[in-house]
Structure 1
Amino acid sequence: MTELDLRREIIAHCLRMNAAGINQGVSGNISVRFGERMLITPTSIPYDRLLPEDIASMSLAGNDGAFEGPKPPSSEWRFHLDIMRSRPEVGAIVHTHPTYCTSLAIARRSIPACHYMIAIFGGDDVRCADYATYGTEQLSANVLKALEDRSACLLANHGAIATGYDLANAFWRAVELETIARQYFNALLIGGPVLLTAEEMKDTFAKGLGSNYAGQRAR
């Protein structure tokens, strides 16, 4: 895709994440890798008013918040940038505040192997990153730790992050994460889930379901 194509795709997926119910208002943000730069949604602009030129562009080599564009980047630019710099296989990041993921994150619960589809995130759980104030270096460090060998995580008292090899892949994971979070939440209400065993998860991985856990395109 051209840079203009990617900017348009970012806006389209911002509208999709609210329509899909995995985000509300302008609380979420999206970034996409473009060469040696990162394209990221600007801060506090309603998605239906976004124009392609409003998407901020940041150097992946920078660390001071410098950007190109008429609008400043999302306040969460730091963990977007750090994920892309430390994980070259990640091409896009979707950060949302979905109801069930956020409910679990408020309780500071990780999501265990309650469903075999947990494998698409790279392991037998989706971790909940420790709490830190939004937009800070500490939050970014906590996120990177929770994402080790994983493609998604929850953020304590905050929301969720999903990564992918491109934006469609990251968005798919964001939707699947909220779906599993809802199922796990509901199972907790009726006595708690029966978790899959390590051997059962091993069988799931043997089928290749988790082969692209780090955001790589499945071969």
Structure 2
Amino acid sequence: MTDEDRALRTELLEACRSMNRLGINKGTAGNISVRHGDGFLISPTGIPYDKLMPEHVVAMNWDATFAGDVLPSSEWRFHRDILRARPDLNAVVHTHSTQATSVSILGHDIPAVHYSIAAAGGPSIRCAPYEIFGSQELADRVVTALEGRRACLMAHHGVIAAHVSIARALALAVTVEELATQYLLCLPLGTPPVLSEAQIADVLVKFKTYGQQTPEVQEGLRQAS
């Protein structure tokens, strides 16, 4: 295992622990993958996050083969298919966060109740129809729900957030949970007003430079880390 490989595996398992610390997952319900080499790395099935070591992270090939005795997450199919279908995305985070999963139980998309929905790529976060976990049918549904988006819900299941890095995918999963909470709080008062597609398009333009420091500051932060 190279230093680069170990570092990426460590980042993945630390993100698994962060999901629970952030309150967007419980136990080992969630899973994370990241593009790596000629395939991808994915969290294993059934190993408590506090017991995870870099060696437990499973390296999978696009044909679903892998080496070693540690089994990958049962959801490897949608991780593989998302990464294979979307070269713009490098990491996938799946959680069972409470509020977003509640919206998925209703079978609702999350509408543009707040401008931060643009972080997911468009004016809504779609809810993929229910299919049993770990199935190819679910993977197919998810890839469709993610067209033009970086996040989706899965009916009666949970959340998928994907981005260019593990850190950004994890942050997006937190944003989805916040949006779901806002939406659910509005529902008892009636159908909430939403921002238009044109308004979200304007936000998407502003997001291209939102929250970015100058290259000099970014380099200083990188060296300090």
Counterpart position of 2:109: 110
Please give the alpha-carbon distance, in whole angstroms, between the structure 2 residues aligned to 1:9 and 1:97: 20
Alignment map for 1:171-190 (pairs within 5 Å): 171-190=170-189
Residue 208 to residue 51, structure 1, CA distance change in 2 (3 Å): closer
SS in 2 for 1:39: strand
Flag structure 2 segments of 5+ consecutive residues without an equivalent.
211-225
Q: Is the 8 A contact 2:33 2:42 kept in 1?
A: yes
Deviations 1:40-62 (A, max 9, x none): 011011000111101111012x1
The alpha carbon displacement at 1:196 in A equals 1.1
SS in 2 for 1:154: strand
List, as ranges, runs of 4+ consecutive aligned residues in structure 1 with deviation greater than 3 Å: 208-211
2:200 and 2:40 map into 1 onto residues whose CA distance is 35
TM-score (norm 2): 0.88
Shift of 1:148: 0.3
Letter of the 1:34 counterpart: H
Correspondence for 1:100: 99
Q: Does 1:90 align with 2:89?
A: yes
Map of 1:216 onto structure 2: none
Q: Residue 59 of structure 2 aligns with which residue?
A: 57
**Are 2:18 and 1:16 equivalent residues in the alignment?**
yes
* TM superposition shift of 1:210: 9.9
Q: Deviations over 1:172-206 (max 9, x none)?
A: 10111111111111111233321112332233233
| Distance apart, 1:122 and its partner CA | 1.0
1:205 aligns with: 204
Map 1:1-219 to 2 at 5 A: 2-60=4-62, 62=63, 65-208=64-207
Aligned letter for 1:98? S
Question: How many angstroms apart in 2 are the aligned matches of 1:118 and 1:45?
Answer: 33
Structure 2 contact 78–142 (Cα < 8 Å) conserved: yes
Q: RMSD of aligned C-alpha atoms?
A: 1.6
Equivalenced residue count is 208
* Partner secondary structure for residue 207 of structure 1: helix
CA distance in 1, matches of 2:195, 2:44: 41
Contact 1:118–1:180, Cα closer than 8 Å, also in 2: yes
| Structure of higher CA gyration radius | 2
TM-score w.r.t. the length of structure 1 is: 0.91
